[in-house]
Amino acid sequence: MQAWCAYAARHGVCALPAAPDDVKAFLVDQREPRPPAKPLALTTLRLRAAAIGYMHRLARMPPPSQAVEVIETLTGYRRASSDLPRPKRALRLDLLAHLLRQGLAGRP
């Protein structure tokens, strides 16, 4: 929320209620910043859009994050993204057993 409010203040737009076009511009600014700033990951953009929507729902206002402009922006970034989920290594059974023993040994 801090990033959205700072952006809104810097650009002279209303943070609450936010116009969908302003939220779209914010997301584009976050994903395609001017150097030396680095672009945010798609997951972070989605979280920021969700936070803006949540702020609006708390204020009993329609969330701009549900507007077509915002959804299409995020969808376009998802389609063009090379941000692929990174596979995680599985926990080996011997390490899992060790962790379970440690957890159980520490309990009364």
User: Mean per-residue pLDDT for 57-80?
Assistant: 91
Q: How much is the pLDDT for 17?
A: 93
Q: How far apart are CA 15 and CA 63, in angstroms?
A: 12
- Considering 24-28, 40-44, 74-78, 97-101, the range whose residues carry the highest mean pLDDT is 24-28
Q: How much is the pLDDT for 108?
A: 52
User: Mean per-residue pLDDT for 73-98?
Assistant: 82
Q: How far apart are CA 49 and CA 32, in angstroms?
A: 16
Q: How much is the pLDDT for 78?
A: 87
